[in-house]
Amino acid sequence: MVAGNTYYYRIKGVNSQGTDWADSTASFVSENALDSSTGTVTFNTDGPTPSWTSSSGAGGTGSIVARSYTDSSSNTISYNVAKFDFDRLNIGDGVAVTLSGVNPLEINVAGDATILSTLDANGTLGDSTAGVRKSKLGGGYGGYKWDSSGWGAGTGPEHLTSADTFKSGGAQFKGWSDFSSSTLVAGSEPGGGSYGGVGGRPEPVGGAGQYQTINASGGTYGDADLTHLLAGSGGGGGNERQGGGGGGAIKIVSTGTLTLGASIWADGGAGGARWNEARRSGGSGSGGAIYLKGSNVIINSGVTISASGGLSAKHTNNSYIQVEIVTQVMVAVPELQLEVEVGFTSKLPVP
């Protein structure tokens, strides 16, 4: 059946006395609902047609919505989100939810919504493998470790469809040279991703690294109202470890009661850790964004809602460089809007 379509039926009765049909037909409108208490539910936000599936056999599709705005520097910022509409949503505590895809997840429910299972949109963790590890739900990816051409910077939100003017990805490791007399001001170590606040070791103007140009970094974007659903940015790659990926972005809006009985995560990923030196480790990614709204919002005891910057790339003597990243979490009800701007200090090892 197609959600929203009207279907007509007529009842037929059969017994030992014979057969008889109802005098008239009746009708119903098919409901677009996600109702699962056990098994698995997967949301894939990739285009051209995002989808959700359940191990019960149920499933459906959403749509890619293109949005844009003009920032304070007169840049046109365009981006995509994956939007899913439901008449009712119930995800029980026996369900394992998987989130995947390049675009942020936006769920709109024309009724009550209950989510009792964890939603994980955390950025990827940097490691020692070659190349990059993609984040999910729009998060930028961490920069790559040394290859034959140099080191990789972290990227801004991956769901942007316009040129990335944020300059928010963490700068990569710059090389083994002395940069004290150059335009590079943050040392040779890789930097953390930015979002609502400046990531660690920003390079305001950039400059010449040992083998490659280092672009400006530390740019901020977004606003505390989450007017636009933008994900986090990745940290820069170190000599031997990748940077961490940016956290993804999630928006859940219910016209009825929104009940949350499990945690929602959109933290940045930690940069890969090389035990004894920051230059060899990766920078951490910035947190993403979480927006929650309902006529009534119930958040059960023990639930964590987090969009923090990436955690430590730790080494044995527990000495750290602080990387401050600021992201937003919102819970809103009509006539009352509570905004929580979460300042989180992620850390990297000092040399």
Q: What is the pLDDT of residues 164-179, one digit of tens each?
A: 999 999 999 999 999 9
Q: What does the pLDDT average to over 127-153?
A: 95
Domain-embedded: residue 1? no
Domain-embedded: residue 264? yes
Cα–Cα distance, 158 to 76 (Å, whole number)? 16
Q: What does the pLDDT average to over 180-192?
A: 95
* Cross-strand pairs, 324: 345
Q: Please answer whether residues 279 and 239 qualify as being in contact, where contact means their C-beta atoms are separated by less than 8 angstroms.
A: yes
Cα–Cα distance, 156 to 141 (Å, whole number)? 8
Q: Please answer whether residues 156 and 165 qualify as being in contact, where contact means their C-beta atoms are separated by less than 8 angstroms.
A: no
Domain-embedded: residue 26? no
- Work out how many domains the chain is built from and give that number: 1
Tens digit of each residue's pLDDT (9 = 90 or more) over 83-95: 999 999 999 999 9
Average pLDDT, the chain: 85
Cα–Cα distance, 39 to 239 (Å, whole number)? 42
Question: H/E element holding 6?
Answer: strand 6-9
Where residue 218 falls (left for φ over 0; alpha for ψ -120 to 50; beta otherwise) is left
Name every residue whose Cβ is closer than 8 Å to that of residue 351 and which is 6 or more positions away in sequence: 189, 277, 278, 279
Domain-embedded: residue 12? no
Domain-embedded: residue 22? no
User: Greater confidence, 37 or 293?
Assistant: 37
Residue 299 domain boundaries: 32-349
Cα Rg of the chain (Å, integer): 24
Q: What pLDDT is stored for residue 11 in this prediction?
A: 85
Structure tokens at 43: 């949301």
Phi–psi pair at 278, nearest 5 degrees: -65, -35
Domain-embedded: residue 163? yes
Whether residue 21 is predicted with pLDDT greater than 90 in this model: the reply is no
The length of the chain is 351
Whether residue 288 is predicted with pLDDT greater than 80 in this model: the reply is yes
Peptide bond into 48 cis (omega under 30): yes
Domain-embedded: residue 19? no
Domain-embedded: residue 155? yes
